[in-house]
Structure 1
Amino acid sequence: MRNLFNIIFIFFLPVLTHALPVSLKGYFPKALGETVYIIGFKDFISQTEEILASTTIDANGYFQLTLQLDHPSPLILEIAFYRLSFYALPGSNWQFNSEQFQVTENGNPLLPQSTLPCYIHGPLTDSLLRNMNAQIADFLDSAAYEIYLKQNTTILDTFTNKTLTINLFDKKFQEAASYQLATLYPGARLPLGFNAFHELQPKYQSWHFCNWLEDYLAKALTRENPLSANSGLTRDLILAINQKEDLQTVRKLLSQHFQITDSLMEDVVTLAALKVFYRTPIYQNKSIINLIRQVKETTSNNDIAFIAKNLVQRFTAFLPGNQVPPYELITQTGDTLNPAKTRGKYSYFVFARKYCSSCLNSLELLRPLYERYKDKLQIICIFTSHDTLTESGFAKKMNYPWPVVIAGKNYDFLRTFQAFSLPLEILVNENGNIVAWPAYRAGEGLEAVLEKLLSKQPNPPKAPLQRKW
């Protein structure tokens, strides 16, 4: 039950009006030459990540970075997709040390959330948060069965009250901790001290508030409220979202359900709810994106417009019709690949690794398709393991007839293409527009898709282009 990334980020200090430097130093003697990234968030509702700074661990194992912060913020230290979350205050100094950490031979975990083990020395605020998080983790280790299977929340009530009455916690900390503790309940739960939703303020610049709000809405709207015709709210939302794309009706339904009277809170709840609905199958993603665009176009609040813009960008990054993100790759033979050089043919990107049997099987099934369509289709194989030397030798041994790129240390490229769960296939047309992400694989429908797109037959067979996850 331990989750090292479920850290509470609290605003202990007043909001600052000017930026102050944050100094970060580290010692990783077994990760020489690795790139160090400091990652932040554009906003706390979309949780769109952005790289704030980067450097390289030198030959002696040290790195040093300085960045500017104008308000307290959660940050992520990332090395080779291994991550560590911490809470930074403007003007704070940090030291990260690990003489043990090294990238595993077959590094680049499937998800960029593997723990980065190291000693951390930073402000007291961060230490307090980690200590409380450890207490929560220990509590859930022993109490999870009672809470989530037996639905016994009495012990959780006791733990919450005990945690919030520790003298060390001031009012700001108690508020933030109450948001965090409310998310532990199996049902939608208001933070301690609030009796009704309308009593809350729209603190969209607070990490802990936004995390609680998304959790609360997910439970209230998709678990406790039936996702079926038996629920009048669900019926009305489906009609407003899927059929009419009526933002005003969606806002009204949510406001009535949660008794919201503040217009800014309406905007915040609407965006957070649409984010929840985006991953709920009964709602159409295209309609949700259009509704978020309407929020951006109609709001008078610049912050809300910025959040809506980030949500749209996050949800549309790989939509069919969009341009493929820019890239610059060097193949094993020394050739350069970029969107300009791949225009004129369809491109089929395959992200793979040596120790992924599904990846290797997919590549072998592509050989006859490559021979059939090589005048119209270019296949680009991208190996992603951190063990670049081994994968380079393996790819040469396999003698693939298409370009091969060894990209295990090209973290920016892999992050841009979200190449974490493998194999991943992307189909791009001759103009550089995405046709399908993820695309069908050979043996699972790709043949029919290529026949439809590339065959000269007047009536090619119908086939879906996009593979479902």
Structure 2
Amino acid sequence: MNNGNTFSSAAYSFKHIVLARALHNLRTAVLLACCTLSPAAIPAQPVVIKGFAPEYRGSVIAAYTYKDFITKAPLRLATEKVNDSGKFVITLTGIKETQYLYLNIDNLNGSIYVTPGNTYHIVFPTPDSTRYQNPYISHSIDLIFIIRDTDNVNNLIMDFNEEFYNFWKKNYAYFLRKQGEPRLDSFDLQMQKRYSQISNPYFKTYIKYTFAQYRLSILMGMKTLGNKYLKDQPILYHNNEYMDFFNDYFKGYLEQISAGREGDDLKNYINNNNYQGIVSILKINPLLLDNDSLCELVLLKGLYELYYSGDYKKDNIVTMLHHFAGQTKIDEDRKIATDMLHSFTGITDGDAAPGFSLRDANGNLTALSDFRGKYLYLGFIKSSSEQCLGELNVMAALNKTYGKKMYFVCIAEDQNMEEMKAYLKQNKSFTWKFLFDDSAVVRLKYDVDVIPEFFLIDPAGRFKLAPANEPGHGIELELELLMETKKK
């Protein structure tokens, strides 16, 4: 699995994990202020997140978790707007246990762990331009928690991450010399003693599997780690740290088998939808021999990786997952298999484009169906983006050339309609239709992660290209070919 790495690369990976967790995940500032955190006596009690985001007035803030921790497909739980005072309140229902979430504004994500029945007071900080220079990719930011309860899991995790960061700075050289393992064991014992009076079960698990992850990074024996952290242990499907360790421990596991002496058998079993045959190969591993639940989860993860490996026919993987979802007796595994199948069938060429009905700069409603009968070149843009401006200047030229033969439309992901109107007033050459996407509803439907993003939709309302090339990066050739084909 990871045994082929050199120690230096593992040490670098270890340092990267520590820095990422200690500085970028939940290394937050704590302000001692009045805040009431009620105990989660009843799992069905709502979670309330009250926040202050003064730099994001009018912006959409959303709370996300993952559908599962193998595909890590985002699942939006709630969406609110930051009001004119910079405040917001998010209420989450259906949270049954402590779990990991992240809050999102634009391309910034901040991590938080929530427990049923608790109220959290946070500050979504001003973005640091020295750290978040690229506005077109996602960045992790450090939420500020206004808390006083020292048993709150976010405060505990923050404290532990600080302790581990300091340990790593002091002992990094020992790990480079392959002398760090005893020091890590000693530090583990220190942390157990430090938090011996803490009863929070999620935090206990967080520490346990964070140490497991670090030990995996410095290439401790795989058998030892498996026996310590996976054998005879419950599968924590919804625990971020457990699943991070599981995913790294079994990373590329079926791919390794495929390259080994059982590779021909594995390929034959997958091609013939032989579920039991694959299980028999997996159970050669003593860790999986007597653990059917863990074996199933390893099989799921392996099939997901093989789907993207290019070494197997995707249709065979899909057939196997459909068979798995219909046969498994474990509800969580069935859900993960279903999530995987859904992830394989996201927005692709030939799919029906999601419908929408949005207002233009004049306040008129415009629907996707209004553009039936011609090709539609649809772009998601933002008026504050210099990259978008450059692409739209090229799009203006395309509109002059092809505007009578097809439609050009932009969906603006601005904070409000007035921003879009001002943008159009400043750019007189943008004469095609612009629509305002209030609360980013259509952006989510089209699974747009970066802006600008463009799609080419055919006259019947199906994706011709999803996504399509940008105006300045080759779409004109596609349009020329389409127009020539239409003439014939």
State if a TM-score over 0.5 links the two structures: yes
TM superposition shift of 1:281: 5.0
User: 1:122-176: CA deviations, max 9, x gaps?
Assistant: 65223112222333344455666875x7777535455445434543456944444
C-alpha separation in 2, matches of 1:165 and 1:79 = 38
User: 1:373-388 alignment to 2 at 5 Å?
Assistant: 373-384=402-413
Question: 1:256 is paired with a residue of what secondary structure?
Answer: coil
Which of residues 53, 60, 64 in structure 1 aligns to 2:78?
A: 53
Report whether the alignment pairs 1:133 with 2:161: yes
TM superposition shift of 1:282: 4.3
TM superposition shift of 1:296: 1.8
Against the structure 1 CA distance between its residues 314 and 116, is the aligned structure 2 distance closer, same or farther, given a 3 Å change threshold? farther
Which of residues 172, 191, 200 in structure 2 aligns to 1:163?
A: 191
Question: 2:251 is paired with a residue of what secondary structure?
Answer: helix
Report whether the alignment pairs 1:194 with 2:227: yes
TM-score (norm 1): 0.76
User: 1:225-374 alignment to 2 at 5 Å?
Assistant: 225=256, 229=259, 231-232=260-261, 237=266, 247-257=275-285, 259-282=288-311, 287-353=316-382, 359-367=388-396, 369-374=398-403
Amino acid at match of 2:103: L
Amino acid at match of 2:302: A
Matching residue of 1:217: 250
Aligned length: 445
C-alpha separation in 1, matches of 2:25 and 2:167 = 14
Answer yes or no: is the 8 Å Cα contact 1:179–1:191 preserved in 2: no
Matching residue of 1:182: 212
In the alignment, structure 2 segments of 5+ residues that lack a partner are: 1-18, 28-39
User: 1:372-451 alignment to 2 at 5 Å?
Assistant: 372-384=401-413, 392-396=421-425, 397=427, 399-407=429-437, 410-442=439-471, 444-451=473-480
Amino acid at match of 1:21: P
Report whether the alignment pairs 1:84 with 2:110: yes
User: 1:321-365: CA deviations, max 9, x gaps?
Assistant: 322234333233444333322332222222344565654444444
Report whether the alignment pairs 1:24 with 2:53: no
C-alpha separation in 1, matches of 2:121 and 2:477 = 55
C-alpha separation in 1, matches of 2:238 and 2:244 = 11
Answer yes or no: is the 8 Å Cα contact 1:385–1:391 preserved in 2: yes
Against the structure 1 CA distance between its residues 236 and 340, is the aligned structure 2 distance closer, same or farther, given a 3 Å change threshold? farther
Which of residues 102, 125, 136 in structure 2 aligns to 1:110?
A: 136
C-alpha separation in 2, matches of 1:5 and 1:219 = 27
C-alpha separation in 1, matches of 2:241 and 2:485 = 56
Amino acid at match of 2:20: R
C-alpha separation in 2, matches of 1:280 and 1:153 = 35
Against the structure 1 CA distance between its residues 80 and 108, is the aligned structure 2 distance closer, same or farther, given a 3 Å change threshold? farther
Which of residues 232, 235, 239 in structure 2 aligns to 1:206?
A: 239
TM-score (norm 2): 0.74
C-alpha separation in 1, matches of 2:334 and 2:380 = 35
C-alpha separation in 2, matches of 1:423 and 1:217 = 36
User: 1:231-280: CA deviations, max 9, x gaps?
Assistant: 34566555655x55654444443343453433332322222233344554
C-alpha separation in 1, matches of 2:392 and 2:469 = 13
Against the structure 1 CA distance between its residues 278 and 109, is the aligned structure 2 distance closer, same or farther, given a 3 Å change threshold? farther
Range with greater deviation from structure 2 (276-285 or 202-211): 276-285
Give the aligned CA root-mean-square deviation in angstroms. Answer: 4.2
Question: 2:380 is paired with a residue of what secondary structure?
Answer: strand
TM superposition shift of 1:85: 1.9
Amino acid at match of 2:100: P
Answer yes or no: is the 8 Å Cα contact 2:380–2:412 preserved in 1: yes
Against the structure 1 CA distance between its residues 119 and 321, is the aligned structure 2 distance closer, same or farther, given a 3 Å change threshold? same
Tell me the percent identity: 21
TM superposition shift of 1:378: 2.0
Range with greater deviation from structure 2 (266-275 or 442-451): 442-451
Answer yes or no: is the 8 Å Cα contact 1:238–1:282 preserved in 2: no
Answer yes or no: is the 8 Å Cα contact 2:347–2:447 preserved in 1: no
User: 1:374-417: CA deviations, max 9, x gaps?
Assistant: 4553222234455976665444415124222354x633333333
C-alpha separation in 1, matches of 2:57 and 2:237 = 39
Matching residue of 1:462: none
Amino acid at match of 2:99: S
TM superposition shift of 1:19: 1.0
Answer yes or no: is the 8 Å Cα contact 1:86–1:126 preserved in 2: yes
Against the structure 1 CA distance between its residues 297 and 2, is the aligned structure 2 distance closer, same or farther, given a 3 Å change threshold? same
C-alpha separation in 2, matches of 1:387 and 1:59 = 12
Amino acid at match of 2:152: L
Amino acid at match of 2:72: Q
In the alignment, structure 1 segments of 5+ residues that lack a partner are: 9-14, 460-469
Amino acid at match of 1:115: I
TM superposition shift of 1:84: 2.4
C-alpha separation in 2, matches of 1:107 and 1:330 = 32
User: 1:60-115: CA deviations, max 9, x gaps?
Assistant: 444334333322222333344533222222222222246x64799x9994234441
Against the structure 1 CA distance between its residues 34 and 418, is the aligned structure 2 distance closer, same or farther, given a 3 Å change threshold? same
Amino acid at match of 1:419: V
Larger helix percent: 2
Amino acid at match of 2:161: N
Amino acid at match of 2:295: E
Question: 2:250 is paired with a residue of what secondary structure?
Answer: helix
Question: 2:348 is paired with a residue of what secondary structure?
Answer: coil
C-alpha separation in 2, matches of 1:196 and 1:83 = 30
Matching residue of 2:15: none
